Amino acid sequence: MLSITQCQGSVAHWGSSRSSARHGRPAAAAPAICTRRPARRLAVVRAQAEDDDFEARLAALKKAKGETPYGEGKKAGAKPEKAAAPAAAGRKKVYDYSNEALVFETPPHRGDLAVNLALGFTLLWLPLSVAAVGRGLFVKYRFTDRRISVVTAAPWQNEQLDAAYEEVAKVVSIGRGVGAWGDMVVTLRDGSKIEMRSLPKFKEMEAYILARRDELTGGGSQGGGSGKQGVPASSVPKGFA
């Protein structure tokens, strides 16, 4: 097989032979046309090998830096594994409410309902009046010696929210209606809240909740008053008939 240099030399010799034939000298036979160029193919293979070597070195450099080379996906095992949380971490403590004693049960204060109905003649106050009617008809607040409950018995909503006194973290109340009733927010240890609007005797119930919590959790005195569970009887309101 002829190389590129040999093909070029043959062509040059053939050209000189044709020139000699013009001057009366016999011309040599034309050489076969060189169609293969192994030297050029070798150069292409060498260039491709250099590119592959460069890509390999670039990929190794990216892996050393912690990056993912182009065209490679991250393996599932490469992700850092998170520590498995304890199975009991997401579970809530279950409390036994059997044999509980009712301390106070009441609907929202009727004075709040009357005030909102009176102000309902103004269109601006009408949504608040409707909300007050709904609370007065379908909501009830219940306090036992074991838990706080907000019971909703509306046709479109029937539920009961319960919170044990041991779960109470904070109690905040504010007076309404010249102090005759008030709004109370009980914040639990997990961050959830129970809201009670227009609660009668809200200050007495706030004191009872905190005293009962301290008694059950050991955070307060176990001293014996004559009232419910160490709370003086004068501070425990009586329920409505």
Sheet holding 157-164, edge to edge: 102-106, 139-144, 147-154, 157-164
Residue 214, exposed/middle/buried by CB under 10 A (0-12, 13-18, 19+)? middle
Task: Please name the residues in contact with 110: beta carbons below 8 A apart, sequence gap of 6 or more.
Answer: 136
- If phi over 0 gives left and psi between -120 and 50 gives alpha, with beta otherwise, what is residue 159? beta
Rounded CA-CA distance 157/208 in Å is: 29
pTM above 0.75, yes or no: no
Q: How confident is the chain (241 residues) per 10-residue block, as mean pLDDT?
A: 45 47 49 51 60 71 61 50 50 85 94 85 80 88 96 91 96 89 95 94 96 88 40 45 31
Cα 92-97-101 angle, rounded to 5 deg:
145
State residue 9's pLDDT score: 47
* CA separation, residue 66 to residues 1, 59, 88 (Å): 50, 11, 36
Rounded CA-CA distance 175/203 in Å is: 9
Q: Radius of gyration of the chain from Cα atoms?
A: 46
